[in-house]
Structure 1
Amino acid sequence: MIPPTAEAPSQGEAVSIAPRQGGRDRYFDLLRALALFRVVLYHLVGWAWLPLVFPSMGVMFALAGTLMARSLKRPAMQVIRSRVRRLLPPMWVLGAVCITGMVVHGWRPGPSVVFWILPLSDPPFLAAEWSGDMAEPLWYLRAYLWFVLLSPLLLRCLRRLPWPTLLAPVALSAFLSFGYLSLPERIDSALTDFTTFGACWILGMAREQVILQRLPRYVIPSVAPFIMLAGLWWAVHHGFGTEQDLELDGIPTAQALWSLGAVFLLLHFSPSWQTWPPRLRRWDGVITLLNSRAVTVYLWHNICIFIAAMTWDQLWEFEVLGENVPWLLDSWVPVLILAWALIALCIVLFGSAEDLAAKRRPRLWPNGGG
């Protein structure tokens, strides 16, 4: 699983933000870069504890909500058009590659192919692993698009009733988990994403609206751990840690509570960095690149992992390697390195779509260098 851009200068729309010179946006850049790295690592190794250590999707939705609230100082329709315009072209590039591959393999598009153009619902794909890997990240773009469309309404509700608005998605998630409401699959998936990560998006908006800053400093550190414990309790009582369900992602209400509590803490303790701390200065280029090409990284990382793993597995065909270094062939580290090498290639090949979508001069490797 993955997933906005600042207004000026603008970057890719789904999960990136232009590095700014002042204050806490450098900290946000770091959070987004860590979130992307964790997403790639999780989709490769599948360790169930990784979303507990760092809930990447909650973090990315919260940062996107912050940017959306900042942008809504301008007319709402103007902001929505700008966000949608910068969201779709990188997805269309992925769709062109994926649809071409599926047609070559005998797939014939139907009416639902429209969701490859406007991802209001899940797009169709072949029952092949490579096709599913390419289409899977689009759930984030679908959720992001709905959050963008609903943001003017959410912001009005937040200003009038901040805490009921913030907690409403979690309450709705708990209600849906009991199965009291049966919905068509396309509607159910979109609603589940909203209830799972809606509180994080609204929390980001609340921070931009200075609602969180009005609380006494001790409130969030006192309350957030209990929210996270409630999420963990819900997860354990709904199969987390068993052979049937080892992923927090499969338990929406637990994911919603854990992500909300963690994001509360990350936003509360955000440092004011006018410049990078000394230990992080060496990573400035990498962090800038990941933020500048976050949409490209998120959209293409799954298929890069698939190709990397498939390529590395071919080395078992060489008996000398299987006999002498089986531990190396079994290791996930070389696969991760190869996957990031392929992601870097995708940045060069397809990343310029983010610049074109933002009406900016295309750049092959936007790491902040000269």
Structure 2
Amino acid sequence: MDDVLDDATRPFSTPERLSPPTGQEPPAQAAPKKPGRDRYLDLLRSIALVRVVVYHLFGWAWLTVLFPSMGVMFALAGSLMARSLNRPALGVIRGRVRRLLPPMWAFSAAVLVLLFAGGWNPGSDPDNGGTWGWVSLFNYLVPIGAPPFPWHVGDKAGLLEDTWPAQAAGPLWYLRAYLWFVIASPLLLWAFRRVPWATLLAPLALTAVVGTGLVKIPGETGNAVTDFAVYGSCWVLGFAHHEGHLQKIPRYMAVSCSALVMAFGLWWASGHLGPDGWDLNDIPLAQATWSFGFVVILLVYSPSWQQLPGRFARWDKLVTLSNNRAVTIYLWHNMLIMATVPLIDLAYDLPFMNERLSSALDTTYSLWMFALVWPLIGLAILAVGWLEDLAAKRSPRLWPDGVRRAGARSHAGSSVRGGHRGA
């Protein structure tokens, strides 16, 4: 989700130039690759977003093992952040925050309107009431902490289930973690360039302390520290990818060591299964180690495509669109999943519905939700996605899938390059 915050095109790496032996003519140098977006990284981000939506819709725990989306997205964000920090750090941080907040404000406004319409009073909240309840609403503007919300609001028989606030606010933890990673990146990158292995492995060590209950930090502070620890090594792996450190490690060694780390993660998970079984989101140390090894393998094999090859090419427009609107997709997808329920329920009132058809709808309900959520995400992109362009100081685009349209104003860089996050 983090290309959202980096609009600049990612230059492709070129081979090191080696000095020719004395007395020999230097070999002809291949023409350097034209700078452009790394479509392999774009494809990974798109897969991660789709996996997040599918996981929140079906709740399949095994998806967290099949593809650890959050670890992948944090790693991609770290790589882009390392590249951006070739510029003054304060300006980079300010630009990243600027690109993140307007889309979040639109989402927060919709959530707060629904909460207040449902009768919620932050001052009388049983968990964080009084003055602090109102002050903590600031986290809906800038995600430095956890935003307050009621666990139940409205009526169970209403359009939305009464537990919808927890589902709606769920994605905001990622923005909080992302913001703190961005703020910490200048220091992390400074440390990585001096002591790379210690900086890379320190978050895993911290996870072993705070993610296993060895040291307990209560409340949301504990959640924030745990998130930072679990995904910190993935973020720093992004640094390693950008700096070229991963390419210096023999591939067989990187894959073998990663497989051992991942095996440890699965072994740890097997003895610490949570209420949802193999859902790694409930097992911090397993999530950290599995994501770390998985991301190393993905980045070690990174082919740096300038164009999607072969069969992947047919998905080019959707990959471009999802990268340009990753913040919008991520923020709104849970709300839109819930919105499919009252829409599908309308089918029960159709005049031709009988007991057999109603039973068939019951059986395939989740599939109908899956089919309906994507058009709703498309509508969200049209309705509020252009805020990502305004936040990036670009002309608003309704459907930025990389296709030049008649009358579109030409500007530097093709629309394919428009990242949804950039500094």
Instruction: Name the structure 1 match of 2:326.
Output: 294
Alpha-carbon contact 1:232-1:254 (below 8 Å) kept:
yes
Alignment deviations for residues 293-312 of structure 1 (CA, whole Å, 9 cap, x no partner): 00000000001001113432
Following superposition, the deviation at residue 2 of structure 1 comes to 10
Following superposition, the deviation at residue 246 of structure 1 comes to 4.1
Match of 2:72 among 54, 59, 72: 59
TM-score by length of 1: 0.91
Match of 1:278 among 307, 310, 328: 310
Instruction: Name the structure 2 match of 1:81.
Output: 94
Letter matched to residue 114 of structure 2: G
Distance change >3 Å, CA 369–CA 24, structure 1 → 2 = closer
Following superposition, the deviation at residue 178 of structure 1 comes to 4.0
Distance change >3 Å, CA 261–CA 307, structure 1 → 2 = same
Letter matched to residue 120 of structure 1: I
Alpha-carbon contact 2:108-2:140 (below 8 Å) kept:
yes
Instruction: Name the structure 1 match of 2:262.
Output: 228
Instruction: From the two aligned structures, give the one with the greater helix fraction.
Output: 1
Distance change >3 Å, CA 21–CA 60, structure 1 → 2 = farther
Distance change >3 Å, CA 322–CA 60, structure 1 → 2 = farther
Letter matched to residue 315 of structure 1: A
Alpha-carbon contact 1:24-1:270 (below 8 Å) kept:
no
Letter matched to residue 124 of structure 1: P
Instruction: Name the structure 2 match of 1:111.
Output: 135
Larger-Rg structure? 2
- Answer with 317-326 or 142-151: which moved more: 317-326
Instruction: Name the structure 2 match of 1:247.
Output: 279
Instruction: Name the structure 2 match of 1:13.
Output: none
Alignment deviations for residues 200-221 of structure 1 (CA, whole Å, 9 cap, x no partner): 0000111111111221232111
Match of 1:263 among 270, 295, 299: 295
- Answer with 304-313 or 97-106: which moved more: 304-313
- Answer with 180-189 or 314-323: which moved more: 314-323
Moved over 6 A (4+): none
Match of 1:120 among 129, 144, 156: 144
Distance change >3 Å, CA 146–CA 346, structure 1 → 2 = same
Letter matched to residue 74 of structure 2: F
SS of match in other structure, 1:112: helix
> 1:1-370 residue pairs with structure 2 within 5 A?
4-8=4-8, 22=35, 25-109=38-122, 110-128=134-152, 129-239=163-273, 245-316=277-348, 320-324=353-357, 326-331=359-364, 332-370=366-404
Alignment deviations for residues 34-58 of structure 1 (CA, whole Å, 9 cap, x no partner): 0000000000001111111111100
- Structure 2 runs not aligned, ≥5 long: 11-32, 123-133, 153-162, 405-423
CA RMSD of aligned residues (A): 2.2
- Structure 1 runs not aligned, ≥5 long: 11-19
SS of match in other structure, 2:119: coil
Instruction: Name the structure 2 match of 1:17.
Output: none
Alpha-carbon contact 2:210-2:217 (below 8 Å) kept:
no
Following superposition, the deviation at residue 125 of structure 1 comes to 1.6
Alpha-carbon contact 2:261-2:289 (below 8 Å) kept:
yes
Whole-Å separation in 2 of the counterparts to 1:24 and 1:101: 39
Equivalent residue pairs, number: 359
SS of match in other structure, 2:111: helix
TM-score by length of 2: 0.80
